[in-house]
Amino acid sequence: MRFSYLAAALLEASVAFAAPSQESHALEERSSSRPKHPAHPFHPGHHFPDSPKRTKTCTVKTHGKGKDDSNYILEAIKKCNNGGRVVFSKKTTYVVATALDLTFLKHVDLDIQGTIKFSNDTDYWQKNAFKQIYQNATTFFQLGGTDVNVYGGGTLDGNGQVWYDLYAKDIYILRPILFGTIGLHGGVISDIKLRYSPQWYNFVANSTNVVFSNIDIEGDSINANPAKNTDGWDTYRSSNIVIQNSHINNGDDCVSFKPNSTDIVVQNLICNGSHGISVGSLGQYKGQVDIVKNVYVYNISMSNASDGARIKVWPGISSAFSGDLQGGGGLGQVSNITYDTMQVSNVDYAVEITQCYGQKNLTLCNQYPSSLVIKDVVIKHFRGTTSKKYDPIVGYLVCSSPSVCSNILIEDVVVTSPKGMNSWTCGNVPGASGMVNCTTST
C-alpha cells in the first residue's frame, strides 16, 4: 500500500494550550505553551489522535547539591497524570540516579525547560536500566502510555563520557539509551536538546502515532575514546511515526528502521557525521521475521557520513560485524521504501544496498544468500559529492541473489566523486546497469 502523501497535512495531535485552573499565576508564568508541530509536508496517512487541553500544573522540586531527584519527578508526574502538565523549571538541573518506569502516563505534558542529567554510576545503570530485548538495548527510563507530549526547550544529558571511556575498555557493557519511547500511543516529542547519550539517543519501540519534531542531538567525546553507536533514532515494532525538522550531529545511523517498523515518515533533517538514513540492519536473528515497509524519507541534508541512503541486511549464514554484534539467517521483507531528495557532502556512498551486512567474505555470502526480500525501493533526486574513500565509486548496489531483490529504481541521482566521476558497484540487482554507471561489479 502506498502512502497518501498529503501536502501540508495537519497533525490533529496538536491542540491549543489552556491555562491551568487550579494553580497560581506564578506557576502559569513558568509553564510553556504547547508547541504545534503538524506533520509536513508528508504524512504517514493514518489519523493522529487528539490531545485535549491540560487543566492543572505541577512543578518538579529538586534536592539540589547533585542529589537524586527521581522521587520528586515521580511525585509530580503522578500528581498531574490524567490531565495535567509537569514543569521542570528553567535554569534548574535535575539529577536522575534511579531508573524511572513512566509507562503509566495518560493525558499529560512534560514541560522540560531545565536540564535532566543522568548520574554517572555505571555499575548501577548496568544492573538497573530497563532491558528492551532488541540488540541488548537498555534505557535510563521508559516513557509510555497514552497521549503524552514532551517539550519546553530544555536538555536531557546522558553523561556519556564515562560510558565512552568504559566501552573503550569493555565492548560488552550495557550502555543505556538516552530517551526510551516504549509503548507510547499518541504523542508529540518536540523542542528539546539531547546530549551525550551513552548509546542510541532515541529508541522508539512498540509505539504508535508519535511525532518527533525540532529535536537537537549532539554530544561527542572529549578524548580519544569515541562516542560509539550513537544512533539518532531507532524504531522497532512501531507504526505511524514521524521524525522531522531536526538537527543530528552523531556517530552512527542518523535514523534507523529496525524490525517491524511500518508507516513512517522522516523529513527535513540535517545529519552530520552519521551512517545515513538506514533500513536495518535486518535478518539478524535466525528464524525471526523482520518487516520494514511503507517508509518515506524526504529532504535530507547528509554531511561527513558513511552513507546517504542505506539498506542493510544480514546474509543467510551467521556472521560477526563485531564482537558484540553478530547474526544472520533471519527472514522477512523490505518493501515500499522511498528516499526522495537528499543533498550529500563528503559521504562515502550516496546509496548503499547490501545483503551481506557483517560478512566480509562475499563468496560465502553468495553461497548462503539472504532469505530477506528487498523490493519496491525508489531512490530519487540526490545531489552532491562523495568522499575520497571509494573514489571514483559513489554507490553500492549488491544483493546476495537476484531472487531476493526486485523493483529497485534509481533515478535522478546526480552525485559525483572527488575525481568528478559517478561509478557504481553493482551485483545481483536486476536492471542496475540501466539506471546507474555500473563500471564495477562483484
Positions annotated as catalytic residues are: 275
Helix (H) or strand (E) holding 279, with range, is strand 277-282
Backbone angles phi, psi at 404, to 5 degrees: -115, 10
Cite the beta strand spans of 154-254 per DSSP E: 155-157, 176-177, 179-195, 202-205, 208-218, 233-236, 238-249
Q: DSSP readout, 194-218?
A: EE--SS-SEEEES-EEEEEEEEEEE
Angstrom distance (rounded) from CA 59 to CA 54: 14
* Amino acid type, 47: H
Nine cell digits for residue 337: 521504501
Q: State how far Cα 63 lies from the chain centre.
A: 33
Residue bearing cell 559517478: 422
Nine cell digits for residue 114: 531545565
- Sign of the CA dihedral with 313 first, then 319, 324, and 330 last: positive
SS3 state of residue 432? helix
Q: State how far Cα 76 lies from the chain centre.
A: 29
Backbone angles phi, psi at 76, to 5 degrees: -70, -40
**Under 8 Å CB-to-CB from 260, ≥6 apart: which residues?**
236, 237, 238, 290, 291, 292
Rounded (10°) CA dihedral 33, 34, 36, 37: 130
Contact 299, 276 (CB under 8 A): no
Helix (H) or strand (E) holding 164, with range, is helix 161-169
Length of the chain: 442
Contact 436, 409 (CB under 8 A): no
Angstrom distance (rounded) from CA 186 to CA 147: 5
How many beta carbons lie within 10 A of that of residue 270, not counting itself?
Answer: 16
* Amino acid type, 34: R
Report the chain's terminal Cα–Cα distance, integer Å: 33
